[in-house]
Amino acid sequence: MAKNKKIEVKGNVITIFKAEMDDYISLTDIARYKDTAQTDSIIQNFASVCVSRTEKRY
């Protein structure tokens, strides 16, 4: 079962999800630090950059 851990970075709480041997950082928490009103746009931009970089490898 996954366990969550919270850390504080520059006064902002970031959630770390642990699943078996892997840790995952909450992108929503990080995006909320950048701009609380537009977290969806920030995550969408992040995802498109990741896809773009992956496509360039192939």
Examine the pLDDT at 24 and tell me if it is beyond 80. Answer: yes
pTM of model > 0.85: no
Position with higher pLDDT, 51 vs 12:
12
Mean pLDDT of the chain: 84
- What backbone torsions phi and psi does residue 21 show, to the nearest 5 degrees? -100, 0
Task: Provide mean pLDDT across the span 11-32.
Answer: 87
Percentage of the chain lying above the pLDDT 90 cut: 17
Query: How far apart are alpha carbons 17 and 23 in whole angstroms?
Result: 6
3-class secondary structure, 16: strand
Strand ordering across the sheet containing 3-9: 3-9, 12-19, 22-25
Instruction: State the DSSP code for 36.
Output: T
Examine the pLDDT at 53 and tell me if it is beyond 80. Answer: no
